[in-house]
Copies of this chain bind each other. A is one copy, B any other.
Amino acid sequence: MPASRQQTLRSISQALGVSTATVSWVLSGQGDAKGISAATQKRVRDFAAETGYRPNMVARGLSLGSTKTIGLLISSLADPFYSSIAKAVVEEAGRLGYSTMISTSQSDGSKEKEMAALLGSRQVDGIIVTPTEQADWVNSYISAGGKIVLVDRPVPGSDTPSVVIDNRESAFRLVSHLIREGHRRIAIFTTAHNLVNMQARHEGYIQALEEAGIEPDERLFCQVPPEASIDQIHAEIDRLISECPDVDGIFFTTHVLVLPTYAHYLKAGLPLDQGKHWACIHTLPDFELLIPKMSIARMPIENMGICAVDMLLGRCELGNNVLRCQLELKQ
């Protein structure tokens, strides 16, 4: 298969005394359509099989103007959320005969732009992106003729095709559930508050409180910067507990904050009760083991990836697709 001593269409055609066109047609299944005799077809096919011929996809890509490759541009492969998306995308693309080229932006807008350009110059047939805040390049990418589907986050002020969840709604329903369960002093614990997603989740939280006639309290608003250390998280929890000793519930806007908080609760001997008074958007396999009573809005990551690929490859309508979270409300 590698570059060196490889069969080519031409070497086959010469060995068999036919033309390259004939070989190309037979091997791409157009033999009958082009009216190649059964005998020749068999000769070609057998020879190709015996010698283990594999077409040079780069040459084919150049010729066809399509590489059967998609690009995936995510912030990091370290976060299980993104690597799950990667998994879904890679596998669905593979199913459809596409390979996927992967790049990471480390949540850096300029790196992201650069990577998108690189993928473009590699002639991928389209890219799937979890955009950073500074994804202004998206519009120019599209107007330059590029295909793109956003995942998880939209780009503000652009109707780029996307597959997202309803963040406000999911947050609203989780927090409403906690309220129905009798909690009134519900904290919100968030990070990366500049992201539209996180803001929408915050809105859902506020809305749930207001509809229940509960006054939002600034002191119940916990926040750490993205990539916060464990210590920063613990400090924020400590602040919450000391300023609001009456806190009786926590809404986590993202899974990354849950386990550090859990560990801190355990160590400090704080009341945990299997997470009965907790709710979180998104979850990890470990959570169900450790905190089985936490209510969750399970993101349909598998479907998000599949949907993104299908949209990109024109297997379903292009548009702004809002997928539903699977709500699991525990008592």
Binding site for B on A (CB under 8 A): 1-6, 52, 54-59, 61-62, 65-67, 69, 76-78, 80, 83-84, 86-87, 90-91, 94, 99-104, 116-123, 125, 141, 144-147, 230, 259-260, 262-263, 266, 286, 289-290
Contacts and interface: CB of A to CB of B under 8 A. Distances in A.
Contacts of A122: 57-58, 69, 99
A77 to B, nearest CB: 4
Contacts of A125: 3
Count copies of this chain in the complex: 2
Given A80-B80, A87-B78, A122-B58, A5 B104 contact: no
Q: Determine which residue in A1, A65, A101 has the highest number of CB atoms from chain B within 10 A of its CB, and name it.
A: A1
Q: 5 closest pairs, A vs B, by CB?
A: A1-B120, A4-B145, A2-B146, A77-B87, A263-B289
Given A80-B80, A263-B290, A290-B266, A3 B123 contact: yes
Contacts of A80: 80, 83
B83 A145 contact: no
Contacts of A286: 259, 286
A135 B45 CA distance: 27
A78 B230 CA distance: 24
A267 to B, nearest CB: 9
A123 B56 contact: yes
A59 B62 contact: yes
Given A83-B83, A230-B289, 12 more contacts: A1-B120, A1-B141, A2-B144, A2-B145, A4-B145, A54-B121, A56-B121, A62-B62, A69-B101, A76-B87, A77-B77, A290-B290
A67 B77 contact: no
